[in-house]
């Protein structure tokens, strides 16, 4: 297996350029080769799941994987769109569709893989009832996950959204009722675990909680419901190469019994295999 990491600078625009670069004649060496499928992923859990597949299942399935690790949510899609990757695994379909719309890309979900439930985490309180008036809450600053975060808060009874608000047109001004006068801070998703020392609570994407060593049972105050959840992470490709048989093979391996058992054993319920979502 070949595995490398892509580190992301703080500024998204610089990140995308630095991590992905411009298309070049060498792109064929990075992706689309006949023998090796190049897949981008965040380190946890996607990278670990892909590594398990590469080490235990891929060879017997006639598949060779190269895993490129990324530390943010923008660069893996940019690299995929530019042809530096054949596929990626890290995002849910609502995020992918929002990325397509905002960046004029043509990426598509090929296979559902697993659900990483979003959660409200805190070093200060053990229950939403303990949040004081004016408590500071950090939210993911990308539109899709921010809307997902406020839905979690609404389900808990902390806020009420205005009627008719949808992900595509949401802003914090659409919070109609905020009885505790919660003070919201929009933070880049990778920085949310680090913000826990500065705010009363933060809604953190699952992959970053695991990278930061947070325990989803002990450290979470709220967790998303699993049943009917729309935010299952997917294996994605460019629409033009979505029917690549190597990608189909990887999709099958993501749902293989061995992979499902690995996810259940490794993440002890903090990651839900697609079959169980």
**3-class DSSP assignment, residue 101:** helix
Q: Would you kindly state where each structural domain of the chain is located, as residue ranges?
A: 2-117+230-276, 119-223
What CATH fold (topology level) applies to the domain 2-117+230-276? D-Maltodextrin-Binding Protein; domain 2 (3.40.190)
pLDDT, mean of residues 128-148: 96
Cα dihedral value 95, 97, 101, 106, nearest 10: 120
pLDDT per position as a tens digit, 66-114: 999 999 999 999 999 999 999 999 999 999 999 999 999 999 999 999 9
What CATH fold (topology level) applies to the domain 119-223? D-Maltodextrin-Binding Protein; domain 2 (3.40.190)
Given the structure tokens 């090929």, which residue do they identify? 110
CA distance 113 to 110: 10
pLDDT per position as a tens digit, 206-258: 999 999 999 888 899 999 998 889 999 999 999 999 999 999 999 999 999 99
* Omega cis (within 30) before 45: yes
**Same fold yes or no, 2-117+230-276 and 119-223:** yes
State the first-to-last Cα distance of the chain, in angstroms, to the nearest integer. 29
pLDDT, mean of residues 132-139: 98
* Measured CA distances, 173 to 65, 178, 181, 186, 253 (Å): 45, 11, 13, 13, 43
Retrieve residue 276's tokens: 């169980």
Q: What does pTM read for this prediction?
A: 0.81
């Amino acid at each position: 297996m070949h595995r490398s990491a892509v580190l992301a600078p703080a500024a998204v625009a610089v990140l995308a350029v630095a991590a992905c670069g411009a298309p070049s004649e060498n792109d064929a060496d990075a992706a689309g080769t006949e023998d090796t499928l190049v897949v981008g992923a965040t380190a946890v859990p996607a990278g670990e799941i892909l590594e398990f597949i590469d080490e235990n299942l891929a060879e017997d399935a006639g598949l060779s994987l190269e895993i490129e690790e990324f530390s943010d949510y923008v660069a893996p899609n940019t690299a995929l769109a530019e042809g530096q990757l054949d596929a990626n695994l890290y995002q849910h379909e609502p995020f992918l569709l929002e990325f397509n719309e905002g960046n004029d890309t043509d990426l598509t979900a090929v296979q559902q893989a697993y659900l990483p439930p979003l959660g409200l985490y805190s070093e200060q309180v053990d229950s939403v009832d303990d949040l004081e008036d004016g408590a500071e809450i950090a939210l993911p600053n990308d539109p899709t996950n921010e809307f997902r975060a406020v839905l979690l808060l609404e389900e808990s009874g902390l806020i009420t959204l205005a009627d008719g608000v949808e992900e595509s047109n949401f802003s914090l001004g659409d919070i109609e009722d905020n009885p505790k006068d919660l003070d919201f801070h929009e933070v880049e998703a990778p920085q949310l675990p680090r913000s826990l020392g500065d705010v009363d609570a933060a809604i953190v994407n699952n992959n970053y909680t695991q990278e930061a060593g947070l325990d989803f049972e002990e450290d979470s105050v709220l967790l998303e419901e699993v049943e009917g959840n729309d935010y299952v992470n997917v294996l994605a490709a460019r629409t033009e190469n979505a029917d690549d048989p190597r990608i189909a093979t990887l999709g099958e391996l993501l749902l293989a019994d061995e992979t499902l058992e690995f996810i259940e054993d490794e993440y002890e319920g903090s990651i839900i295999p697609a079959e169980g979502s």
